[in-house]
Amino acid sequence: MAFPFELLATSPASSARRARLRTAHGTIETPAFMPVGTQATVKAATPAQLHEIGAQIILGNTYHLNLRPGPGLIRELGGLHKFMGWDGPILTDSGGFQVFSLAKLRKITDDGVSFRSHLDGAEIFLGPRECMDIQTALGSDIAMVLDECPPWPAKEEDVRAAVDRTLRWAKTCRDIWTELGQPEKGRHLFAIVQGSAFANLRRECAEALTALDFPGYAIGGVSVGEPEPEMLAAVAAATPYLPANKPRYVMGVGTPPQLLKMIALGADMFDCVMPTRLARHGVAFTPDGPINLKNAQFARDPKPLVEGLNNYTCNHFTRAYLRHLFMAGEILGCTLLTLHNLHFFQDLMTQARNQIETGTFEKWSQEWCARYEAALIKGDPLPEGE
């Protein structure tokens, strides 16, 4: 495979980048948003529908797939692509974030982390070797190193310890990945920058990982409860110290304005459950902010969710009908809103790529965010839940 990351255009007024990332299962145009397929499925959407709305790459969750159905079964049945019927690129996370956020009674050592399954309480160990073996069995195009994600807030000495452990694990993961022959198969391993809200630790971690020469780099430990200004500051503290000729992936974010603000900081790739999770609660994304279709004001609304947006939901259904589906408890409502929300995010990334190419990203982005965020000031709070 030729050098996998090609920088096509940069913004004259910010750090926004337009690029292309090649993988064994296809090319990803960046900036890119990745729908989250936690358990080998993007909830309420088929692979064919994901292709139709323009998804280039989806994310699978190593923690959950390791517990159920297990990497051995997935390997036996031809790997994750064949197992879930998706022929495009797949990124799998390391499982580290879920271990630290979901698992009970965990014990962290320099060798890895022992924890109990959230499903049945079984004791499980996840270290660099296990993390690389699982992702090798899954056969994803992009794998992630094992890292330690500190909580927010945290003391600097605790975050430094997490950064030091993350760096040791990153080197070990890289060595094991090479030993397993994965680079020769065109599979990429990304490192993860940690450091919480401490800019000095973010820089140290980014510089140390850059010296290890990974194919790509992620910024982790954001959107873990901190206010948005701190989240953006954490990304800004890392991106200048990551190599310009490698992709940069901000993990687990975010709202549409957050994505645009992080693109301006030099980020290329994103994933988040927000568009699918909110869809299942009747919330649709629009350029004027999210709307909750369960509100009575939409009962007789004959308009599509977004005028002129070319997706199946907007082309065929009114807000009134979509509200009816949710009020009646019909599953179709979840699917139609999931497709719309994911397409909304994909369309936003397409617009961002075009604006970077024409050198107008900053003005367009600022105007786009101002329109979206103006509606949030007077809008209803969004529902929470799975």
Cβ(279)–Cβ(340) below 8 Å: yes
- Pick from 213, 115, 142, 125: nearest CA to 171: 213
User: Annotated catalytic, 111?
Assistant: no
Distances (CA, A) of 273 to 254, 270, 325: 9, 11, 22
Q: 75: exposed, middle or buried (C-beta count within 10 Å: 0-12, 13-18, 19+)?
A: middle
Which token pair is 330? 């019909």
Give CA–CA dist 245/216, Å, rounded. 9
Which of 87, 93, 213, 347 is catalytic? The answer is: 93
Residues making up the chain, counted from first to last: 386
How crowded is residue 225: how many other Cβ atoms within 10 Å of its Cβ? Answer: 9
Is the link from the previous residue into 47 a cis peptide, with omega within 30 of 0? no
Give CA–CA dist 72/93, Å, rounded. 17
Which of 147, 271, 347, 380 is catalytic? The answer is: 271
Give CA–CA dist 283/265, Å, rounded. 28
Distances (CA, A) of 190 to 127, 187, 218, 220, 266: 16, 10, 7, 11, 17
Per-residue b or e along 124-157, where b marks 16 or more CB atoms closer than 10 Å to that residue's CB:
bebbbbbbbebbbbbbbbbbbbbbbbbebebeee
User: Annotated catalytic, 93?
Assistant: yes
> Backbone phi, then psi, for 255, in 5-degree steps?
-70, 160
H/E/C letters for each residue in 162-186?
Answer: HHHHHHHHHHHHHHHHHHCCCHHHC
Give CA–CA dist 19/30, Å, rounded. 5
**Which sequence positions are flagged as catalytic?**
93, 271
